[in-house]
């Protein structure tokens, strides 16, 4: 069948944005996987919200980042290599290493300080706009 001269050509599909960095946090497994350019680079234990608190589920983009940060809400607790992703929630380093791999926080995603530093460097290199944080149950 011939295309009518009055029929507009088919529109090109919109390009799909693919972030270069994806941090996938699984709350039930208490693990974070870090993917860079479609390749898994890291898998780390984390601590997320303990009973009575919550870690928000969803897909986020980093809002702000601080190498050195101290909690204004929880007794000036250190939050090294903090990547804030939703309101006051952040991914950050912790010195409470014995609790990694199980719920222990007020809602933030805690990592070993070396892993938090590595994630911070990856996000800094690729940019916040090219990073997604995916939190699932």
Question: What domains are there in the chain, each with its CATH number?
Answer: 21-31+38-60+67-105+112-136 (2.40.440.10)
Q: How is residue 76 annotated by DSSP?
A: T
What integer pLDDT is reported at residue 93 of this predicted model? 98
Task: Say what percent of the chain tops pLDDT 70.
Answer: 91
Q: Are strands 58-60 and 131-136 parallel, antiparallel or unpaired?
A: antiparallel
- Whether residue 6 has pLDDT greater than 90: no
What is the pTM for the complete model shown?
0.88
User: Which of 53, 31, 23, 46 lies closest to 109, judged by CA?
Assistant: 46
User: Which of 18, 60, 20 lies closest to 36, judged by CA?
Assistant: 20
- Whether residue 94 has pLDDT greater than 90: yes
């Amino acid at each position: 069948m011939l295309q009518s001269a009055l029929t507009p050509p088919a529109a090109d599909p919109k390009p799909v944005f693919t972030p270069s960095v994806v941090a996938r946090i699984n709350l039930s497994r208490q693990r974070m996987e870090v993917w860079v350019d479609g390749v898994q680079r890291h898998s780390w234990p984390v601590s997320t919200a303990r009973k009575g608190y919550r870690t928000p589920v969803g897909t986020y983009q980093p809002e702000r980042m601080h190498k050195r940060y101290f909690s204004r809400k929880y007794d000036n607790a250190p939050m090294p290599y903090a990547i804030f992703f939703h309101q006051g929630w952040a991914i950050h380093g912790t010195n409470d290493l014995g609790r990694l791999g199980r719920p222990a926080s007020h809602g933030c995603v805690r990592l070993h300080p070396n892993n938090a530093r590595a994630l911070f460097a990856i996000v800094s290199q690729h940019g916040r706009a090219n990073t997604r944080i995916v939190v699932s149950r």
